[in-house]
Amino acid sequence: MTSEEIRAFLSHGTRTAKLATSGPSGQPHVMPVWFALDGEELVFTTWGDSVKGRNLRRDPRAAIVVDEEVAPYAFVHIRGHVTLSEDLDELLRFATAIGGRYMGADQAEEFGRRNAVPGELLVPPPSRSCNRDSRRRWRLRRGGNEPLITRRRRPVRGDPRGAKR
């Protein structure tokens, strides 16, 4: 994806990011987070004493994935070292933007004020990013157009939408 395509993908709708951090003994910890974009940077907030906040204070290495959960299953993956900020003015600005995105413009200010408090952390993104359109990732071809390996999804029993997994 180009930079413009990444920005459009991350800005689309209300996709959540999945944040991976490392626990004290190295175990992985993955949690969904709401985010906003600041130019080409993904920014989110978290309570400083939450598991993810404690993990990031101890070890700033993190990975974030934002994915499209329907075909064509594209995603953006960001990994590296995060920085943490407790600047209340910046927290208010981004918490309000995040609230507007996920809660609606009518609740953005209330969400921003509730979350821009001492103890909350503003987390700018890790330093390296990569992405892949999963259509390219999951299709390997030989010769002409015959698929050598394709990833197929099977319907889930009892799924009222007939979704494929």
Q: Establish if 67 belongs to a structural domain.
A: yes
User: Is residue 87 assigned to a domain?
Assistant: yes
Domain annotation covers residue 144: no
Virtual CA dihedral for 52, 55, 59, 64, nearest 10 degrees?
Answer: -20
Bigger pLDDT: 101 or 81? Answer: 101
Looking at the domain assignment, is residue 61 inside a domain? Answer: yes
Q: Is the dihedral of CA 102, 91, 6, 27 positive or negative?
A: negative
Identify whether 151 is part of a domain: no
Domain range spanning residue 41?
A: 3-134
Q: Check residue 72 and give its pLDDT.
A: 82
Does residue 81 lie in a domain region? yes
Please say if the pLDDT value at position 73 is more than 70: yes
Question: Residues 90-133: pLDDT tens digits?
Answer: 999 999 999 999 999 999 999 999 999 999 998 875 554 444 44
Does any domain span residue 15?
Answer: yes
**What is the pLDDT, as a whole number, of residue 125?**
57
Q: What domain count does the chain have? A: 1
- Residue 18: its pLDDT value, please? 96
Query: How many CA atoms lie less than 13 Å away from 110 in the CB half-sphere?
Result: 6
pLDDT of residue 151: 30
Region 24-37: what's the mean pLDDT? 95
- The pLDDT of residue 133 is 42
* Rounded-to-10 torsion of CA 27, 33, 36, 42: 10
Question: Mean of the per-residue pLDDT values for the chain?
Answer: 78
pLDDT category, 20, cuts 50, 70, 90?
A: very high
CATH number, residue 95: 2.30.110.10
pLDDT of residue 44: 93
What gap in Å lies between CA 155 and CA 56, rounded to an integer? 38
Q: Is 142 inside a domain boundary?
A: no
At residue 45, does pLDDT exceed 50?
A: yes
